């Protein structure tokens, strides 16, 4: 009783073999894949997945308002991040925020101060010092229909989680849209005052731009940070949200809070100065040295802030280069295989004769 008999085992083997044979025949009969469709399902295309994701009912993303509605005083970038998280957590009960020191302490940079007391320990909590565990946990939560917002304390700390990050980005693509794992990973990056060591001052956005399925935001001011973070939280794709440490409390990055419905679309660069002789493309903390340099040459240097790395605004850069005929890209990264090389290569391919 309750013991698998030899006959039952034989039947199980035959049934399994038949299923495998049927799967092989189905695969062999399938048409050759269309190379032009290789990028399908990398990102949310409007069809709800069978497992995971934010829209099981098939609703379109509620992107909110496209124009900011400034509220009161200028705030720093880290307060803009915190207020956006608070607004969206109030609006969406599926959002969970977690990471090392994120709960009671409120994060090493103060982004989540007071949030555990307000939303409770079930939604804002600390984790162990285990970055691959943080990202792995986030992937499971997202597949279960939650919206995890993990914090990695510093960009370099994410290196042990690289395999988890890589795998998470392709969940939708490798299941042909049947599964989705939207996660918004907040990650302070770059140099800061009195900090230049190789563990706490790394930027390295190019590494993640190479991974399929991830959107990457890299704001240079508080308004853009709020708008991009809200777009990420209302989207349905894995997103890396970079917060440059030199800008978290800098005066130049302060802006009024743009309102609880402001959403800034990814892939839209900002033209910060007009110029006729040189297109200067940059993002993050390098925006402000770029503007300072441009100010020394009035009317000659056009400065573009990409705001997002994946996707980046190819058309805005092309349009400017067609006018100026020259391109300079400034990034805070190693010269070899930095993201500037990607931009220069693309523009050379499309606008070499301008």
**Would you name the residues annotated as active-site residues?**
200
Alpha-helical (H) ranges within 30-170 are: 77-91, 115-119, 131-143, 162-169
Cα atoms in the 13 Å half-sphere on the side-chain side of 236: 27
Cβ of 337: how many Cβ atoms within 10 Å? 12
Three-state DSSP class for 53?
A: coil
Nearest-angstrom CA–CA distance, 139 and 134: 9
In 3D space, the residue among 305, 77, 331, 290 whose CA is nearest the CA of residue 204 turns out to be 331
Three-state DSSP class for 238?
A: coil
Query: What element of type H or E holds 151?
Result: strand 147-151
Interior CA angle at 244 toward 242 and 249, to 5°? Answer: 130
Cβ of 197: how many Cβ atoms within 10 Å? 9
């Amino acid at each position: 009783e309750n013991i698998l008999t030899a006959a039952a085992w034989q039947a199980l083997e035959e049934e399994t073999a038949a299923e495998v044979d049927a799967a092989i025949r189905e695969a062999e009969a399938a048409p050759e894949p269309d190379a032009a469709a290789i990028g399908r399902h990398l990102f949310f295309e409007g069809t709800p997945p069978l497992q995971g994701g934010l829209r099981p009912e098939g609703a379109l993303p509620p992107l909110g308002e496209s124009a900011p509605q400034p509220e009161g005083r200028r705030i720093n970038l880290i307060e803009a991040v915190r207020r956006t998280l608070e607004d969206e957590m109030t609006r969406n009960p599926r959002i969970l925020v977690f990471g090392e020191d994120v709960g009671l302490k409120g994060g090493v940079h103060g982004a989540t101060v007071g949030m555990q007391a307000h939303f409770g320990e079930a939604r804002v909590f600390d984790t162990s010092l285990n970055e691959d565990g943080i990202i792995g946990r986030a992937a499971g939560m997202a597949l279960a229909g939650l919206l995890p917002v993990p914090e990695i304390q510093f960009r370099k700390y994410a290196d042990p989680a690289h395999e988890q990050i890589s795998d998470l980005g392709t969940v939708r693509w490798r299941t042909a849209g049947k599964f989705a794992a939207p996660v918004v990973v907040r990650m302070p990056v770059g140099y800061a005052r009195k900090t230049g060591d190789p563990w706490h001052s790394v930027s390295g956005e190019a590494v993640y731009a190479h991974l399929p399925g991830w959107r990457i935001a890299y704001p240079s001011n508080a308004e853009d940070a709020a708008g991009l973070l809200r777009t990420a939280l209302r989207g349905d794709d894995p997103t890396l949200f970079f917060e440059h440490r030199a800008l978290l409390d800098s005066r130049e990055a302060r802006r009024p809070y743009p309102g609880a419905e402001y959403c800034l679309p990814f892939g839209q660069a900002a033209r910060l100065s007009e110029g006729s002789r040189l297109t200067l493309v940059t993002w993050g903390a390098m925006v402000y040295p770029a503007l300072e340099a441009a100010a020394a040459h009035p009317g000659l240097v056009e400065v573009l802030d990409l705001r997002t790395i994946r996707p980046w605004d190819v058309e805005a850069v092309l349009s400017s280069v067609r006018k100026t005929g020259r391109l300079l890209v400034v990034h805070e990264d190693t010269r070899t295989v930095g993201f500037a090389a990607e931009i220069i290569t693309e523009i050379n391919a499309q606008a070499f004769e301008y």
